[in-house]
Each structure stands twice: as C-alpha cells, then as structure tokens.
Amino acid sequence: MANELIINVTEYETRVALLEDRVLAELYIERAKDRGIMGNIYKGKVVKVLPGMQAAFVDIGLEKAAFLYVADVHGGIEDYEDMGFQGEEMPAYFSSPSSQIQDLLSEGQEILVQVSKEPLGTKGTRITSHTTLPGRYLVFMPLVDHIGVSRRIKDEKERKRLREIVQSIKSPGGGFIVRTASEGASADEIRADMEFLLQFWNNIQKKKENSPAPSLIHSDLTMVLRVIRDILSPQVNRIIIDSKEEYDRILSFINTYMPKQRYEMSLYENKEPIFDAYGIEMEIDKILGSKVWLKSGGYIVIDMSEALVPIDVNTGRYVGKRNLADTILKTNLEAAKEIAYQLRLRNIGGIIIIDFIDMEREGDREKVYQAFEEALKKDRQKTNIFKISELGLVEMTRKRTRENISRILGESCPYCEGAGLIKSKTTVCYDIFREIERTSTELGGHNIMVEANPEIADLLYEEERAGVEELEKKLRKKIVMKGKPGFHQEQFNIIEI
C-alpha cells in the first residue's frame, strides 16, 4: 500500500493529510492563532491551595492560573492517558489515597508541571507534576520506575523482546513505555531513543534551575513534527511539502531522531495548490456533511451531539438483486467499512452508537461485526466495541485525543443553535398570529405592521391570507405585511402604524 503525507503550510494554517492508496485517511489541522500548549512544561508557582477541593492553583505565566488536582501531584493514571499516548500500557501507581493537597503543596512553592489538558471555555489549564517525554520509540516517565509496552503490539514474542531490551539498558529510576512504532526496532535504535530522552530530561532540569517562576521550560513539538514522529513508518514512504522552510525543518528532525527511516521526500513547487493537486480540498469539503453515500446506493447519517454520536445506516437507492436479507447484509457490510473510515477521518471520539439495518440471521450479524472489527484495525486510536444487539445496534467508544475535525472546520448554526432544524414557514406564520393577539391591546386603536422575512410575508399574503383577515375582523385593525430581506426566517417585528 502506497502511503503519503501531504503537507500544506501557510502563515495562518498548517495542514497534514495522510493518503492511503491516494485516499484521504487522516487530516491534521493547526491554526497559528489556536496553537495549543498541550505537553508544554513550565516552572510554576503555587498561588493558592484549596483543601476543600483538594486542588491548587498554579501560576505558569498564562492569563489564568492552572489547576492541579491532588491526584495529579501524586500521579494518577489519567495523567499519562491525557497526554495523548493512547493504546500504550500504563503503569500502576502506588500513592496514598489519604494524602491531602495541603500536605503536598504550599503557597509560594515552585514546581515543575506539564500541561495535561488545554484551557476550554471558562475552565483553566489542567496540569500534572508527573512529566512525560515522548520519543520515537519510547515515552520517558522520569518520576516512575516502570516498563510498559503498547497494547497495540499484539505479538507476545515481540512484546517480550522489547521489554527485555528496555530492561537491559535502562538505569535505575525513571520508567519507559514502549510505543507502537517500536515494533521491529533494533536494540540500537531503542538505545539511541532512550539516550536522547535522558539527555533531554537533563537539559530540562538544568533550565529549570536557572529559570524564574513562572516560565516556559519546554515547548512541545509543532503539529507537523508530532505527526512525523508518530506516523512516519515503513508504511508511509513519501512526504510532499509545499514550504522550503518546513521542508528543511522536517529533514533536520528526521536525520536527527529517525536516521534509519527510509522514505522519499520532495518539495512541491507547482502553481496549483498542493491540496487541490492531490484532490484533498474536495474531500475536506465533504467532512462537514452528515450524509455519506455508499457505492451501492445506500448511505449513512452521522449526527454529532453533545452526549454521543449516533450513526444510522440506510439502504437508500439500493434495492438488491436477490432477496431482502442479502440486500441488508451487503449494505451493512459496506457501511461497516465506511463508518470505520469516517471515524478515523473525522477524528470522532467518545461514545458512538451505530444503528445497522436489522438483520434476522445471526450469521449475518456476526459477519458485519467481524467486518467492522477488521476495518477498525487501521485506526491508531484506542477503540472498544460490543457485539451487535438484537436491534442491530453497536455500542463503542473511541479515544479522544484531539479536536474533532468537524468542530475545527465548522461551528454551530447561529439560527438553529446546533439542533439542525429551524421553525417551518407555516409555524412562523402562526407564531406571528399569536404575537399579534398578545400585543394588540398594547397598541391601542392603531393598525399593525408585520416586518418579516420576504418568504414569510408572501405566505401571509397568500396561503395564510384567511388567517390574517380573521384577525383583522377580530381585532378591528388593519394588518399590513412588509418583507425585510435581511431577516432570518424566524425573525419578525410587530409595529403599530
């Protein structure tokens, strides 16, 4: 399979597309004004200890103080899961559940922390005092003496080999998680990665000693370099980029940290925009659509809600060739592959409910489940799926690691506020009738003008004219309609004239 990384760089936005056999499989977007601080390491100062919440506020130099839970001081397992190393085997920590935040921290104390969650809305940044440093093959945990191996490495012999390599070369103190990318790596490659991470940590310690609090000690890699570090493998054999500056930066990074990686890298210099040339721009436009058509004529509908993501499968235009059961099976099998692809492409996370078309035969349900499970193997994010229920439903979860692409590219409709619906024209007409009755007494003996969207005004003059005339008789007032081109369909004003 020919896999390529296509990288588009501008002053305002950087985009990375992973193509698998010329098909867009993953998309990463980072905007200059929104560049995150996830993974950054700061020397902070404790500004307030809150025993009642078992937490502390730490000044790390941002507009708002960062939030540090007592579990994050001790090192709860969520520290490492939230850092984005999904699918890795995490250590078990031995911390006293009775420890109190006031016994661990005091106001004015200086502490080295790492951002584990970005600030969101009114919530400030969440931090942890347990630092993790990701390399190409390993994740270094300076404060934990532990060796873990990625769960995505299934071969028990390979897991044992990698664990023994790390065990034989690591010094006492500090721990490592063997990343998925290490599968097949040599002892020398792992040793080099370990030495780099240890040196990196030493440099951070030195900078910490010579820096005031608050101050930034280490800024995480750019999005492009993170993708290169995490995705570049023997399966990704070509990189095409349209920026000479970023080209040089990537080349230097690979030569330093991944010198044995074989790949082809080229600078794109044609006039046609790089994402247009590879057909990516057209595919990005489709991501915001809720309906995805299948080749057979069936389709799936993806509904993004706050609590979960429901996905519905429909036969659509597909009528089949033999019988209903075979038609349903073929549609569901095709949908299973497309859903796995869309989850990965759109980076949909959290709780997902898939409503496959009901299948009466148990064997058909098993075939669809197996096809879906197989299609999910390409996904690098951690997923948990349950068997298809009697109703044809599949419940699953997918690890959240970055913002959903749809939420980066779009925003909630200001009219329907994300509901996906607005009031019908007829409903708005009847709302106007009711509002006229409510306000008629306030208007005294004056006549009434209704300002509304032109289509609503036309409807009141035509199909709903009888209702207008009935109101005029009842209220003994003249009602005049005026179309306002700038008005939204639901917007109207009742004015005395």
Write the pLDDT tens digit of every residue in 223-246.
899 888 878 776 788 999 999 999
Instruction: Give the pLDDT score at 74.
Output: 59
pLDDT at residue 1 is higher than 60: no
Over the stretch 411-425, which tens digit does the pLDDT of each residue have? 777 777 766 788 899
pLDDT at residue 188 is higher than 70: yes
Instruction: Give the pLDDT score at 319.
Output: 67
Q: Does domain 41-220 have CATH number 2.40.50.140?
A: yes
Instruction: Give the pLDDT score at 184.
Output: 83
283: left (phi over 0), alpha (psi -120 to 50) or beta: alpha
Range list of H helices, 118-260: 156-169, 187-209, 223-231, 244-257
Half-sphere exposure of 302 (CA within 13 A, CB side): 24
pLDDT at residue 219 is higher than 50: yes
Tokens 């600030």 appear where?
Answer: 119
483 confidence band (pLDDT: 50, 70, 90) = very high
CB contact at 8 A, 240 and 269: no
Instruction: Give the pLDDT score at 315.
Output: 84
Q: What is the DSSP string of 278-344?
A: TTHHHHHHHHT-SEEE-TTS-EEEE---SS-EEEEEE-TT---SS-HHHHHHHHHHHHHHHHHHHHH
396 confidence band (pLDDT: 50, 70, 90) = very high
Instruction: Calculate mean pLDDT across residues 26-37.
Output: 82
Instruction: Give the pLDDT score at 122.
Output: 62
Mean pLDDT of the chain, nearest integer: 86
Instruction: Give the pLDDT score at 76.
Output: 40
Of 122-126, 288-292, 307-311, 328-332, which range is least confident? 122-126
**How is domain 425-496 classified at the architecture level of CATH?**
3-Layer(aba) Sandwich (3.40)
- CATH assignment of 3-34+224-281, among 3.30.420.40, 3.30.1360.70, 3.40.50.10310, 3.20.20.100: 3.30.420.40
pLDDT at residue 95 is higher than 60: no
At 362 the three-state DSSP class reads helix
Name the more confident of 95 and 168: 168
Percent of the chain with pLDDT over 70: 91
Over the range 426-457, which residues count as b (16 or more CB within 10 Å of their CB) and which as e?
Answer: eebbeebbeebeeebeebeeeebebbbbeebb
305 confidence band (pLDDT: 50, 70, 90) = confident
Name the more confident of 252 and 319: 252
Beta carbons within 8 Å of 417's beta carbon, 6+ residues apart: none
Instruction: Give the pLDDT score at 91.
Output: 47
Global model pTM greater than 0.85: no
Instruction: Calculate mean pLDDT across residues 328-356.
Output: 93
pLDDT at residue 55 is higher than 50: yes
Name the more confident of 181 and 68: 68
pLDDT at residue 272 is higher than 50: yes
Cα–Cα dist 116/94, whole Å = 20
94 confidence band (pLDDT: 50, 70, 90) = very low
CB contact at 8 A, 180 and 171: no
Instruction: Calculate mean pLDDT across residues 187-199.
Output: 86
pLDDT at residue 75 is higher than 70: no
pLDDT at residue 77 is higher than 50: no
Instruction: Give the pLDDT score at 68.
Output: 92
pLDDT at residue 81 is higher than 60: no
98 confidence band (pLDDT: 50, 70, 90) = low
